[in-house]
Structure 1
Amino acid sequence: MENKKQFIKGILAGFLLTVLLGGVAFGGYRMLTQASDEKKAESGELNLTGTEVQGKLAEIQNLIEQYYLDEVDAEQVENYLYKGAVVGLGDAYAAYYTRDEYQSLQDSTNGSYCGIGVQVTQNMSTGIITATKIFEGSPAEEAGMLPGDVLYQVDSQEVTGEDLTQVVSRIKGEEHTTVMISIVREGQSDPMDLEVERRTIEVSTVEHRMLDGSIGYIAVSSFDDVTVNQFLDALNDLEAQGEESLIIDLRNNGGGLVSSVCQMLDRLLPEGLIVYTEDKYGHREEEYSDAENHFDKPLAVLVNGNSASASEIFAGAIKDYGIGTLVGTQTFGKGIVQKVYPLSDGTAVKLTVSKYYTPKGNNIHGIGIAPDVEVELDTDVANEVTIPEEKDNQLQKAIEVLTE
């Protein structure tokens, strides 16, 4: 009986508040809003709180109560009611987050999390989720995961086509618990099941070192809250070591926070426009670099097909200003911006709210950014956890460009 009460509460939560706030009984509310509902339906306007939707939900609820065989998880039904509303937009980047999923999303940008130490990306055309980086010494590496592995299932639930943030949330969990990851590896016909322990993973989104010939090297794996200071510290350290030219590696960087990439570009670009966005109303927001800093040494930026979103803002600005050479392969092509809106109960909704444009006014959505020097990574090293510097032909080409 308690389950049934919770279920009814869950199903009705989406529209009872509207009725109560109207200050009239449901029958009166139906009469007062019916004409408005009909007009909205004729115009194709979204109307999730109309009487027609309410009535249909009530019918579904009655049928479930009368005929559904198993126990009902009221919270799950309610969550999927909200998820379904967002999925119905047909936007692969939009999502509804439960409280736990929203907390996981926040944790992912805060410098540490409890997970398995793998970086993943999702092809929005196919929904396929692929491991792009396995952190050294991580539980994922110990379990045998490799870059290029396709995530097939997490704890026996298929993940292809699911929202990436929600999949990552399921992979994370309490420290020293385990998660069962099923992967598909190129050249193997059957999925592999890997039981992986969750541990605290310190997020280092920036790695740097000096290469031969006084060339500095900075690899940026994502644009998070912690990335800006890590990047600036790396840049200052390399300059203190006598760096004469620089390689910034954005390969397999799926993006992140626009605010972070703009702060990093402010350190590199001359004074001027970094990026601008336009929403559905044509409202334009612009981000600018100031005249305080300007990187004036030879620069190369490594990109590939997994360099997306904020990585493309970075690469697009470097290319438009002509202060560096892009080396690698065509970038992913994500020229739209999502914003996460917290809801009153601790959940959240992510919606696509604008398009972004490079300083010269290019929107690269569905197109990507072409490198100045195109180089495919050699296939014999593509799936290695760590590619030796001498075998990384894209890196070697960037060194060659700077040396010339």
Structure 2
Amino acid sequence: MENKKFLVGFLTGITAALVVIYTVLHIEKFSFLLKDSLNGSVTREHSITREEKEQIGEKLTLLEQYIDQYYLNEISEQDIANGIYKGLVSSLDDPYSTYYSQEEYQSVMESTQGTYVGIGAYVAKNAETGVITIIKPYENGPAYDAGIQPGDIISKVNGESISGMDLNAVISLIKGEEDSAVTLEVLRGDESKPIEIVVTRQAVEAETITYSMLEHSVGYIGISSFKDSTVNQFKQAIDELLKEGMTSLIFDVRDNGGGALKAVVSMLDRILPEGMIVYTMDKNGEGEEYKSTGEESLDIPMVVLVNGNSASASEVFAGALQDYELATLVGTKTFGKGIVQSVFPLEDGSAIKLTTSKYYTPKGRNIHEIGILPDVEVELDESLKAVTSVPPEEDNQLQEAIKLLINEKK
């Protein structure tokens, strides 16, 4: 590899930034200012000695020299830079904090807005094992048509192992140009060998809201994610079902891994009476309160369907309705993610996502690593767990919810 004068200077320059991670160095003296990218205020002040700074710079330079002399493959300066940034954040040992390169952040923003080019599937990463799993392919989407199934574990993308990779980095690998192909290697159930599946990427609009009128004037709203585009779809679904004569309602947040806090707050504001929706608290005991105006509350019997993949914003949604005693939770215990991440865009187009606070339900519950227990526990039939689209009449959890609402009317 050719000598990189830029990289040597870069590694020396980044030294000051690296000292913020005191968990690695076990240093308690600091004088480093970290600016809040949202308002420019100083949020934290640290300090480190000149000698310690020099030691970090010397070691980075030494590592770069070893890479130059011995590393077999070519690697770009940008890849090394991104690796340093990612290593800085990964030292926090927090599966929810990450550094996004410019390309990764663009991908994240596309997904949040609801339209992107990809395979059309919900994926999730297990915080403990690091395993990335297909939660559900969009019905009739590219992944669905190619034979991807719920529960498939992704092991490689285009022949590259994704072990240890951040979820959004994997998503960036899966996305690409429209009509191009991506090869996924997946592990499935009792299959002894990995399965290779080729999927043709297409423009996909995230299906975040589905709704229908069931028997006995029971409305059904499925919420697959909480995105910016979800809020209006959600409100329209409620309005349409009310016009059709809905007298009770089922919200389905099973397999919904969460999304934007502001989205779920806006959606709950359409349902709840005036009062607390959720509040957050950071390490300094400071936070924000999110309240409902009560201008458009919904006063009909309600059920929320939940399972072990209902996480984060889904738990905000379910927890608020449970605390207000406005809905019965049916299903299995939720995932248990009671923390909030904030994304801070950087000037070069990259971004950093950090866990910044805990959130609490209206009654003051923090459910992190605990989850929310349903009021009525019902396991989904084993035969249905690998089925992408379960007919309503076969969905035993849904049928239990309908039965509860019918009995409540009597």
Instruction: Normalising by structure 1, report the TM-score.
Output: 0.91
Answer yes or no: is the 8 Å Cα contact 1:207–1:220 preserved in 2: yes
Write the letter of the residue equivalent to 2:137: I
State the secondary structure of the residue aligned to 1:186: coil
Q: Which residue of 2 aligns with 1:22?
A: none
Answer yes or no: is the 8 Å Cα contact 1:119–1:133 preserved in 2: yes
Which residue, out of 387, 392, 403, partners 1:389?
A: 392
Which residue, out of 32, 43, 59, partners 2:28?
A: 43
Within-5 A mapping of 1:4-403: 4-15=4-15, 42-43=27-28, 50-403=53-406
CA deviations over 1:373-403 (Å, ceiling 9, x no partner): 0000001111111101111000000001101
Task: Tell me the distance in 1 between the aligned counterparts of 2:156 and 2:263.
Answer: 32
**CA pair 141-17 structure 1, distance change in 2 beyond 3 A:** closer
Deviates more, 1:312-321 or 1:6-15: 6-15
**CA pair 41-100 structure 1, distance change in 2 beyond 3 A:** same
Write the letter of the residue equivalent to 1:316: G
Q: Aligned Cα RMSD in Å?
A: 2.1
CA deviations over 1:327-351 (Å, ceiling 9, x no partner): 0000000000000111121111110
Q: Which residue of 2 aligns with 1:21?
A: none
Please state how far the C-alpha of 1:69 moved relative to its aligned partner.
4.1
State the secondary structure of the residue aligned to 1:174: coil
**CA pair 14-209 structure 1, distance change in 2 beyond 3 A:** same
Task: Tell me the distance in 2 between the aligned counterparts of 1:144 and 1:188.
Answer: 15
**CA pair 11-219 structure 1, distance change in 2 beyond 3 A:** same
Task: Tell me the distance in 1 between the aligned counterparts of 2:26 and 2:207.
Answer: 50
**CA pair 17-138 structure 1, distance change in 2 beyond 3 A:** closer
Task: Tell me the distance in 2 between the aligned counterparts of 1:286 and 1:350.
Answer: 21
Write the letter of the residue equivalent to 2:219: G
**CA pair 303-16 structure 1, distance change in 2 beyond 3 A:** closer
Answer yes or no: is the 8 Å Cα contact 1:231–1:264 preserved in 2: yes
Please state how far the C-alpha of 1:43 moved relative to its aligned partner.
2.5
**CA pair 403-16 structure 1, distance change in 2 beyond 3 A:** closer
**CA pair 312-62 structure 1, distance change in 2 beyond 3 A:** same
**CA pair 157-70 structure 1, distance change in 2 beyond 3 A:** closer
Write the letter of the residue equivalent to 1:175: E
Aligned-residue identity in percent: 49
Answer yes or no: is the 8 Å Cα contact 2:358–2:366 preserved in 1: yes
Task: Tell me the distance in 1 between the aligned counterparts of 2:75 and 2:383.
Answer: 51
Q: Which 5+ residue runs of structure 2 have no aligned equivalent?
A: 31-45
Please state how far the C-alpha of 1:123 moved relative to its aligned partner.
1.5
Write the letter of the residue equivalent to 1:268: I
Write the letter of the residue equivalent to 1:128: V
Please state how far the C-alpha of 1:16 moved relative to its aligned partner.
8.2
Task: Tell me the distance in 2 between the aligned counterparts of 1:163 and 1:42.
Answer: 27
Please state how far the C-alpha of 1:104 moved relative to its aligned partner.
0.3
Q: Which residue of 2 aligns with 1:26?
A: none
Answer yes or no: is the 8 Å Cα contact 1:151–1:160 preserved in 2: no
Write the letter of the residue equivalent to 1:14: I
Task: Tell me the distance in 1 between the aligned counterparts of 2:313 and 2:53.
Answer: 39
Answer yes or no: is the 8 Å Cα contact 1:7–1:72 preserved in 2: no
Write the letter of the residue equivalent to 1:350: K
Q: Which 5+ residue runs of structure 1 have no aligned equivalent?
A: 19-32
**CA pair 312-42 structure 1, distance change in 2 beyond 3 A:** closer
Write the letter of the residue equivalent to 1:222: S
Please state how far the C-alpha of 1:2 moved relative to its aligned partner.
6.5
The structure 1 segments of at least 4 consecutive aligned residues displaced by more than 6 Å after TM superposition are: 46-49
Answer yes or no: is the 8 Å Cα contact 2:3–2:68 preserved in 1: no
Task: Tell me the distance in 2 between the aligned counterparts of 1:232 and 1:370.
Answer: 27
Count of aligned positions = 385
Answer yes or no: is the 8 Å Cα contact 2:181–2:198 preserved in 1: yes
